[in-house]
Amino acid sequence: MFDDFMTRATLAGVGVAFAAAPLGCFVVWRRMAYFGDATAHAAILGIALSLTFQVSIFAGALAVALIMALTVTFLSGRGYAMDTLLGVLAHSALAFGLVAVSFLSGVRIDLMAYLFGDILAVSRSDLLVIWGGAALVVALITWRWSELLTATLNEDLAYASGFNPKREQLILTLALSVTVAVAIKVVGVLLIAAMLIIPAAAARSLARSPESMAVIAALIGAVSSLAGLRAAYVFDTPAGPSIVCVAAIIFAAFSLTGMQSRRKLH
């Protein structure tokens, strides 16, 4: 069954959706949407480096995304506001990445494939990386769920309960880097943040608890992948952006009905 490229693409999309959903909830709750963007943009630099040094794209992107995430964590609260810091780092990393790619003589790479993803070209070994990464991220977040939630609510509450919120922040950062690295092939650098944020935001109007929000977000992400790929096939549109479009339409629909039902309550 893995011989069919559409099957592989669907599995890849669903895998990324599962990893992105619980993580995306934290990104939304902690207001770190641009953090995802910055990490993803840095991944382009990682791709350039991995092509230069002939290591796997996944390893290069993961390493640079991780360095980026750690740098941001380290620099935050040291003089510059978070959004300024992320703006500087994200766009510099993207620019340096694009410049680095242009130095690669002899290797002709399709930059578009990394900016927008090429889910239809996902191979069996890519699938293994994606599902392996997704499993790691889901396991990490499930393991630390209560602690992550407490640290998200209030750092001092975490200290008083006997654990270090900085460590929880580091776990989120790590999970974010892994997700970005595995999602590059599927939706590309520019749309990874969309897969993190849109399903989680769409799930908000239906959810009554943090857990249900993560599960609903995962379902919305999976449905977006399936429907987006189908739409891409039927209308001959680019696959990654089509997935994000479906997620955005679901978000709009849920937000509107959510607003309506709230109005009825009043």
Partner 1 sequence: MALVTVEDLGVRYGANTVLRHIDMTVEPGEILTIVGPNGSGKTSLLRAIIGAVQPASGRVTLKPGLRIGYVPQKLHIDPTLPISVERFLRLTHRATRQSCAEALEAAGVPDLSKRQMSQLSGGQFQRVLLARALINKPEILLLDEATQGLDQPGSAAFYRQIETVRTETHCAILMISHELHVVMSASDRVICLNGHVCCQGSPAVVASAPEYRALFGTGTGGALALYRHDHDHHHHDHSQKAAE
Q: Which residues bind partner 1 (CB under 8 A)?
A: 28-31, 146-147, 149-150, 152-157, 159-161, 201, 204, 207-210, 212-213
Beta carbon of residue 85, minimum distance to partner 1 (angstroms, whole number)? 18
Cα–Cα distance measured from residue 16 to residue 55, given in angstroms and rounded to the nearest whole number: 22
* Nearer to partner 1 (CB atom), residue 96 or residue 159: 159
Beta carbon of residue 216, minimum distance to partner 1 (angstroms, whole number)? 10
CA-closest candidate to residue 130, choices 192, 194, 39: 192
* Nearer to partner 1 (CB atom), residue 130 or residue 175: 175
* Nearer to partner 1 (CB atom), residue 95 or residue 160: 160
Beta carbon of residue 30, minimum distance to partner 1 (angstroms, whole number)? 8
Task: Give, as one character, the DSSP assignment of residue 190.
Answer: G
Q: Are 13 and 5 in contact (CB under 8 A)?
A: no
Q: Are 122 and 188 in contact (CB under 8 A)?
A: no
Residue with tokens 């978000």: 251
Cα–Cα distance measured from residue 183 to residue 243, given in angstroms and rounded to the nearest whole number: 13
* Nearer to partner 1 (CB atom), residue 149 or residue 170: 149
**DSSP letter string over 69-88?**
HHHHHHHTTSSS-HHHHHHH
* Nearer to partner 1 (CB atom), residue 100 or residue 147: 147
**DSSP letter string over 28-44?**
HHTT-HHHHHHHHHHHH
* Nearer to partner 1 (CB atom), residue 205 or residue 242: 205
Which two three-digit tokens encode residue 188?
């590309």
* Nearer to partner 1 (CB atom), residue 204 or residue 230: 204
Q: Are 18 and 226 in contact (CB under 8 A)?
A: no
CA-closest candidate to residue 114, choices 240, 246, 242: 240
Q: Are 70 and 62 in contact (CB under 8 A)?
A: no
Q: Are 17 and 36 in contact (CB under 8 A)?
A: no
Beta carbon of residue 210, minimum distance to partner 1 (angstroms, whole number)? 6
* Nearer to partner 1 (CB atom), residue 184 or residue 217: 217
How many CB atoms are closer than 10 A to CB 158? 22
